[in-house]
A = this chain, B = another copy of it.
Amino acid sequence: MSYCLATYRCFGEQTDFHKKAQGIAVGLTVGSWTDLPEAKKANMQKHLGQVVSVEIQEASASSPRYADIQIAYPDVNFSLDIPALLVTVFGKLSMDGQIKLIDLHFSERFLSAFSGPKYGIAGIRSQLGVHDRPLLMSIFKSVIGHDMQELASQFKQQALGGVDLIKDDEILFENPLTPIEKRVAACMQAAAEAEAETGQKLLYAVNLTGPTFQLKEQAKKAIDHGANALLFNVLAYGFDTLQALASDPEITIPVAAHPAMAGAMYPSPNYGIGASVLLGKLMRLAGADLVLFPSPYGSVVMPKEENLAIQQVLLTEELAKHYGYQTPQLSANKLKRSLPVPSAGIHPGLTPLILRDFGQDVVVNAGGGIHGHPMGTAAGGRAFRQAIDAVQQGHGLKEYAAQHPELQAAIDAWGLREN
């Protein structure tokens, strides 16, 4: 027997949390237990959920009474896919009062069904030929209503600034002005022109959109026209669709997961699914090579501890966990690591904080902080590269900016935070 573990935070002033935990463990697995005949119990034992722990926090000035409850679900009860796991552990239960799914651990058997990111951090670094510094991503500014020439020109200005990745805006869908095959062709041409000047390789994450059952063909069409990365609004389609794309041997380019719609689920303390599960473990499990999420620094904010919890599960954590009566026969499946991309409201003056908190395996990602640079878009990219160089070389940004006008202009425009 092996188990996937779900941890919930449940709120209730009077709730008997031990009883609630037993109710979950039985109700979401075998349905009933105490009234089963003894002979039947022997057969059903392997399907019965187990209460792993119940940790009660009494009410305090800052929080109402709650309990963190961990339940072990036999993985023999569900098929080895994310919809089945989520419907089991947080299907009906999500509607049962104030309860939030705050963690998941997968059994080795469950994990064995997943191939995870196809490229991961090492693969992306290898494609870019960049191994010794944080990466820099730029986001298109205005895109809707712009024609191909305008997008290609905007692309080239971004590329000339020395960025490693450029991503589509997540709200750019199939449209007559800039359909995916033309967009890819024109932008990759602009990338080649910029590379001739800068010597720098670049990944362009083109937005994969449209009907679910046409996504694979759409991705392959993009690849046929030269695409070297995809952007995907995972939560609008479901994790299983990401998994299908990421594990398709014909989809031979990395996938960047956009967090669109995630705010419908992670921010409430009392309901939903925790950010490190939603934008962390499940994204890596489903195969995102890069994962965007709101940074703790900028305009759309997520608390820093949640950011670091996402980072941990994308980068370092062993996603499998032993729980059960038998030693698992399978050795743990080692999923590749996904690159964290803390996003929104980032400008060069925040680079010291990002690198302090995330280290080198991070993508510094900016839109307005590049396009809004007083000296123009290309200078915006260069200001970020200068900021990254300064931090990596141990210089203060102010000092370094004295010799680097793009960085100086960025600091003058947006300020500087070094701690």
Contacts and interface: CB of A to CB of B under 8 A. Distances in A.
A52 interface: no
A171 B24 CA distance: 13
A415 interface: no
Contact of A91 (B101, B237, B261): B261
Given A211-B81, A236-B238, A144 B264 contact: no
Nearest to A268: B268
Interface stretch (A26-34, A329-337, A382-390, A401-409): A26-34
Interface in A39-53: 43-44, 46-47
A338 B302 CA distance: 38
Interface string A167-204: 00111011100000000000000000000000000000
A384 B34 CA distance: 27
A244 B241 CA distance: 13
Contacts of A32: 141-142
Interface in A206-246: 209-213, 216, 233, 236-238, 240-241, 243-244
Nearest to A142: B31
B171 A261 contact: no
Given A31-B143, A87-B171, A144-B29, A265 B259 contact: no
Contacts of A271: 263-265, 267-268, 271-272
Nearest to A270: B268
Task: Count identical subunits in the complex.
Answer: 2
Interface string A243-282: 1100000000000001111111101101111000000000
A90 interface: yes
B142 A77 contact: no
Nearest to A47: B145
A158 to B, nearest CB: 15
A83 B233 contact: yes
Interface in A42-81: 43-44, 46-47, 77-79, 81
A43 B142 CA distance: 13
Interface residues of A, number: 72
Contacts of A120: none
A86 interface: yes
Given A88-B171, A173-B78, A144 B94 contact: no
A300 interface: yes
Contacts of A175: 79
Given A211-B240, A233-B91, A236-B87, A264 B273 contact: yes
Interface of A: 28-32, 43-44, 46-47, 77-79, 81-84, 86-88, 90-96, 98-99, 101, 141-145, 169-171, 173-175, 209-213, 216, 233, 236-238, 240-241, 243-244, 258-265, 267-268, 270-273, 294, 300, 302, 344
Given A86-B261, A98-B267, A211-B240, 19 more contacts: A28-B171, A31-B143, A47-B144, A47-B145, A77-B173, A79-B173, A79-B174, A83-B209, A83-B236, A87-B171, A91-B170, A91-B261, A94-B264, A95-B259, A95-B294, A95-B300, A96-B300, A267-B271, A271-B272
